[in-house]
Structure 1
């Protein structure tokens, strides 16, 4: 993982902190291919290797107990996978006194959280989801849902940390949530004072 300290990345992190704009999300064009993008899915904006996408070039993908190396492309990071389970990609980036943690997943077969902050279906392949933070359901959390046609709607989790969506259109759906955490620590021997967690879940409706 790479420490980022450029002015451009500072701007992106400010956008992410204020409006959940930039995120890492996954797309799966076929059963053996997963691609990671960084940008604003709702705006059809994906960063390139000439910009902050290069910060994710070392991020590996995991699926079940398997790990896959990244294949760097100009507009995305590609992974050739072999299994059928959910695929995850994560990356931590440091700017100044904030640690941004990006967690992306494609597929909705797993109903148990793995990451510190994650969106999980209550039933495999269902449309009801729970947002977990540190292993517990998170109430009143905002989640943005974007369909393949760029229809967008915001939801808020109930007291059980759950929300339910409709999927009337075919194609990909991307769910995103962001959470600031007042927690200090060190990353690659460099201190930070706060964290910002960004979680996405993407899946296709046939």
Structure 2
């Protein structure tokens, strides 16, 4: 019941601010997961929507990691520089909200249903993959270390190239609705909405 209450708060926030789940890699190689608005420097806490994400696992290579729960983030004991993923699905009302977050741009093969992948490792050119195919004419928002935002549109091959003029972390975000009904955790839904982020650092 507490999980559903938390997500109700999260959903209310998303309707007004389009919340996202994003990852940050620290100097200690750990990965932190945040829920909120990166561009607004807004992070939700355990007193609000974040608690609905506490059971989310991180995947790095073949390792699955459990979160250490902190007040405004989830911490995972990742190691090295390999890409990290954290996913979470939640049903609210008639909608299944699906959050897909990835840190790093080494892997060029998509694993999630909706994902942003570099065309070559560590490239500034990316391809949006949806259900295994490039997604054309999809809007993407990039948020710089200074919280500066710029929008791009993928071309017919689902590709776009971003500018990264400053050192620090960049976060890419896309969202896509899917008109598809189903059931998740014994809860029925009428449609799905996916929010995918990719974060990476420029040194």
Query: TM-score, normalization: structure 2?
Result: 0.95
* Residue aligning to 1:196: 193
**Per-residue Cα deviation, 1:6-60 (whole angstroms, up to 9, x for no partner):** 64233124236xxxx2000000112521000000000000000010000110001
List, as ranges, runs of 4+ consecutive aligned residues in structure 1 with deviation greater than 3 Å.
none
Partner of 1:144: 141
| Uncovered stretches (5+) of structure 1, i.e. residues with no partner | none
Uncovered stretches (5+) of structure 2, i.e. residues with no partner: none
Distance across 1 between alignment mates of 2:167 and 2:145:
8
Match of 1:63 in 2: 60
The aligned runs of 1:46-195 (5 Å cut-off) are: 46-195=43-192
Query: Is it true that 1:8 corresponds to 2:6 in the alignment?
Result: no
- Matched residues in 2 for 1:96 and 1:13: separation? 14
Q: Is the 8 A contact 2:175 2:195 kept in 1?
A: yes
**Secondary structure, counterpart of 2:126 in structure 1:** strand
How many angstroms apart in 1 are the aligned matches of 2:8 and 2:183?
21
Q: Secondary structure at the match of 1:30?
A: coil
Among candidates 22, 25, 44, match of residue 19 of structure 2: 22
Q: Secondary structure at the match of 1:155?
A: strand
1:151, distance to aligned residue in structure 2 (A): 1.0
Contact 1:63 1:83 in 2 (8 A): no
**Partner secondary structure for residue 12 of structure 1:** helix
Contact 1:63–1:86, Cα closer than 8 Å, also in 2: yes
Match of 1:35 in 2: 32
- 2: distance between equivalents of 1:66 and 1:83? 12
Deviations 1:92-113 (A, max 9, x none): 0110000000000000000000
Tell me how many residue pairs correspond in the alignment: 201
Relative to structure 2, which stretch is displaced further, 7-16 or 60-69? 7-16
Q: CA deviation at 1:124?
A: 0.2
Matched residues in 1 for 2:53 and 2:168: separation?
25
CA RMSD of the aligned region, Å?
1.4
